[in-house]
């Protein structure tokens, strides 16, 4: 990668870091990226409202490759003394999406002014953290007839600048399940006059965790993420309550089956004492499975560049909405190591490792 281009995207990364925005609110982030591309490249910018893509036409009509970067940040307050510290209180890029965007801009700089065989689409997506952005951005795959799609994620626990990959399933499906219970409050001295959902909530939690112990067909996981019941006032037996949980599985159909079992049990238990129930699904992510031929192309390119290549033994349990694109066309997601002892993603001590930008750009350029 050209040194001047690396300096430009490092500065861009720091600028994006200073002004992070939450999922589906990335208007200023998108505008900063669009302005950078317009000022520094000849890529054609196509605005799609909540998202956009940049296009470079190649020599071979019909051969179309897309590269995706996510733009959203997290509701985590930044507590460091970086000169590019977040200026938006309570929001920060603690997953490194600022670096993903900068890398795609670096790819645009490197490809600008040279001929490519394929049409190149650089897709800047909102809402990855909630699983919502790829749902409508994937329309581009269908509309343009894109033949391959690639993405990368930075990842700690692996040597710095290493290229990490996994064949087949690389990240699981997940969803947030919320179950609410509506009963009747009463005085704490006369709980029999009300309908307190506490017992039902306890039984549902225990049953959900028991159902998730079935590992006969791959990983199945239920994590209780929230329980709401009453105010803690010692004189009131509460009438309403709520459970939130995250379900994960290697296969989406197993996750949905677990969801059905939990909801059915909750409804039966609630009915026995006269509670009304409501259920809702949030932050749905499909399973992410790499296409073998696309992954082989990544491995060959990394090998030709002399990069350190490491197979990932176990899938990364965090979910990734890139799986929506892989339902539309072949592609692969890879990981670039931040360092073996690097602070984990989604933690206060994390910041994107600028030293991996060059590897990301060089590898993607080799795939065009």
* pLDDT tens, residue by residue, 169-199: 999 999 999 999 999 999 999 999 999 999 9
Q: Percent of the chain beyond pLDDT 90?
A: 98
271 touches 242 (CB < 8 A): no
pLDDT surpassing 90 at residue 27: yes
Q: What is the pLDDT of residue 183?
A: 98
DSSP H or E segment with residue 359:
helix 357-366
Distance of alpha carbon 302 from alpha carbon 361, whole angstroms: 11
- State the DSSP code for 216: B
Mean pLDDT of 141-170: 97
Residue-by-residue DSSP string for 152-168: EEEEESB-TT-EEE-SS
Cα dihedral 335, 341, 347, 349 in deg (nearest 10):
-120
By DSSP bridging, strand 119-125 and strand 64-70 are: parallel
Of residues 333, 43, 278, the one with CA closest to residue 168: 333
Taking CA atoms, 246 is separated from 69, 209, 259, in Å, by 25, 11, 10
Matching residue, tokens 């499909």: 286
> What's the pLDDT at 61?
78
Q: Is the dihedral of CA 4, 1, 38, 24 positive or negative?
A: negative
- Span 324-332, mean pLDDT? 97
Cα–Cα distance, 178 to 297 (Å, whole number) = 41
| pLDDT reading at 129 higher than 90 | yes
* Mean predicted lDDT score pLDDT of the chain: 97
Cα dihedral 54/57/61/64 (nearest 10)? -40
pLDDT over 90 at 88, yes or no:
yes
What structural domains and CATH numbers belong to the chain?
3-171+287-366 (3.40.630.10), 173-284 (3.30.70.360)
Secondary structure of residue 132 in the 3-state scheme? coil
Report the C-alpha gap between 249 and 231 in whole angstroms. 34
pLDDT in tens, 220-247: 999 999 999 999 999 999 999 999 999 9
Q: What is the pLDDT of residue 80?
A: 83
pLDDT at 344: 97
Closest CA to 148 of 352, 362, 367, 349: 367
Measured CA angle at 176 (ends 170, 177), to 5 deg = 135
pLDDT band for position 56 (cuts 50, 70, 90): very high
81 — pLDDT class (breaks 50, 70, 90): confident
Tokens of 267: 């409804």
User: For a pLDDT cut of 70, what percent of the chain falls above it?
Assistant: 100
pLDDT, one tens digit per residue, over 259-302 is 999 999 999 999 999 999 999 999 999 999 999 999 999 999 99
Query: CB-based contacts of 23: which residues, under 8 Å, 6+ apart?
Result: 72, 126, 127, 128, 129, 130, 132, 133
């Amino acid at each position: 990668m050209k040194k001047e281009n690396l300096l430009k995207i490092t500065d861009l990364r720091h600028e994006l870091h200073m002004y992070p925005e939450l999922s589906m609110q990335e208007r200023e982030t998108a505008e900063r990226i669009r302005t950078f591309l317009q000022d520094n490249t000849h890529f054609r910018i196509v605005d799609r409202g909540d998202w956009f893509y940049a296009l470079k036409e190649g020599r071979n009509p019909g051969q179309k490759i897309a590269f995706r970067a996510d733009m959203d940040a997290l509701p985590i307050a930044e507590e460091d003394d970086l000169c590019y510290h977040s200026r938006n209180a309570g929001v920060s890029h603690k997953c490194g999406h600022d670096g993903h965007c900068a890398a795609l801009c670096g790819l645009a700089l490197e490809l600008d002014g040279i001929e490519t065989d394929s049409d190149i689409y650089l897709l800047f997506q909102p809402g990855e953290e909630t699983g919502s952005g790829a749902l409508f951005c994937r329309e581009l795959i269908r509309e343009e007839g894109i033949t391959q799609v690639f993405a990368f994620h930075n990842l700690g626990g692996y040597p710095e600048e290493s290229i990490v990959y996994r064949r087949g399933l690389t990240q699981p499906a997940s969803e947030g399940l919320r179950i609410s219970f509506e009963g009747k409050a009463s005085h704490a001295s006369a709980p029999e006059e009300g309908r307190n959902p506490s017992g039902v909530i306890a039984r549902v939690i225990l049953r959900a965790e028991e159902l998730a112990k079935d590992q006969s067909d791959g990983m199945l996981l239920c994590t209780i993420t929230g329980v709401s019941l009453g105010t803690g006032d010692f004189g009131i037996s509460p009438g309403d309550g709520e459970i939130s949980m995250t379900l994960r599985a290697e296969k989406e159909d197993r996750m949905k089956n677990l969801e059905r079992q939990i909801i059915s049990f909750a409804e039966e238990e609630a009915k026995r004492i006269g509670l009304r129930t409501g259920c809702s699904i949030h932050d749905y992510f499909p399973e992410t499975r790499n296409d073998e031929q696309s992954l082989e192309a990544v491995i060959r390119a990394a090998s030709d560049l002399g990069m350190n290549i490491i197979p990932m033994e176990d899938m990364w349990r965090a979910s990734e909405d890139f799986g929506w694109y892989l339902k539309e066309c072949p592609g692969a997601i890879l990981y670039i190591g931040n360092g073996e002892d690097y602070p984990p993603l989604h933690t206060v001590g994390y910041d994107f490792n600028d030293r991996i930008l060059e590897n990301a750009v060089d590898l993607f350029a080799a795939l065009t």
